[in-house]
Structure 1
Amino acid sequence: MLTSKGKKYLRKQSHDIQPIFQVGKAGVNDNMTTQISEALEKRELIKVSILQNNFDDNQAVADEIASQTGAQIVQVIGNTVILYKESVNNKQINLP
């Protein structure tokens, strides 16, 4: 579980990261969650953009992605979700 210090640190680290996945009107599917899991293993910290044509609640989309990938939600801000999952083989981020 992330502490408030950990979340603050990860928000700072994610500032310059561009979203690498987009959730559209089809919503979250198995293929997308598989790719997000693989990206989290390589990068540990990613952003996911939720497009305007997705009518689901942004927090609900973030919760669904997090539960299916085992990631932790750092922040949901606007239409962007910041996710963190500690990598097993490629640890890059050391939380305070």
Structure 2
Amino acid sequence: MELSEAQKKRLRRAHDLHPIVMIGQHGLKPTVLEEISSALDHHQLIKIKLSVGDRELRDDMVEQLTQYSQSQLIQRVGNIAVLYRRNPDKPDILKESV
């Protein structure tokens, strides 16, 4: 499901969230990918801190994260990325954020 810009704007409330997952010098390990997927199942909207390399490497990692977790990038500012994936078993946070 592709989100509209208006929906993404409503989800940018993640500014107040603390990063749930922090990716450091060891990069994307399978355990990190599993943790991100689990966090998306539970929270639907998560903030990730990428403390690695340069901008191009962070862009590549964010792309890998969204593909692996089947999530959507809501926002990326510097080394912080916000991902969203709807969990049909939980209340839709997109509707709650209106």
Decide: shared fold, TM above 0.5.
yes
- How many residue pairs get aligned? The number is 93
Q: Aligned residue for 2:3?
A: 2
Q: TM-score, structure 2 length as denominator?
A: 0.87
Superposed CA offset, 1:66-96 (max 9, x none): 1111110001111100000001212341346
Q: 2:62 touches 2:81 (CA, 8 Å); kept in 1?
A: yes
What is the identity, as a one-letter code, of the residue corresponding to 1:72? Q
* Regions of 4+ moved over 3 Å: none
1:1-96 aligned at under 5 Å gives the runs 1-11=2-12, 13-51=13-51, 54-55=52-53, 57-95=57-95
Spell out, residue by residue over 1:32-66, the C-alpha distance to the aligned partner (whole angstroms, 9 max, x if none).
11111111111110000011xx1252211111111
**SS of alignment partner, residue 61 of structure 1:** helix
Contact 1:14–1:45 (Cα < 8 Å) also in 2:
yes
Which has more helix, going by share of residues? 2
TM-score normalized by structure 1? 0.88
2:58 and 2:44 mapped to 1: Cα distance? 21
| Root mean square deviation of aligned Cα | 1.4
For structure 1, list consecutive stretches of 5 or more residues without a partner in the other structure: none
CA distance in 1, matches of 2:35, 2:89: 17
Matched residues in 1 for 2:42 and 2:88: separation? 9
User: Aligned equivalents of 1:16 and 1:66: distance in 2?
Assistant: 21
> Using the alignment, how far apart are the partners of 2:64 and 2:91 within structure 1?
24
Give the Cα–Cα distance (whole angstroms) in 2 for the partners of residues 91 and 60 of structure 1: 31
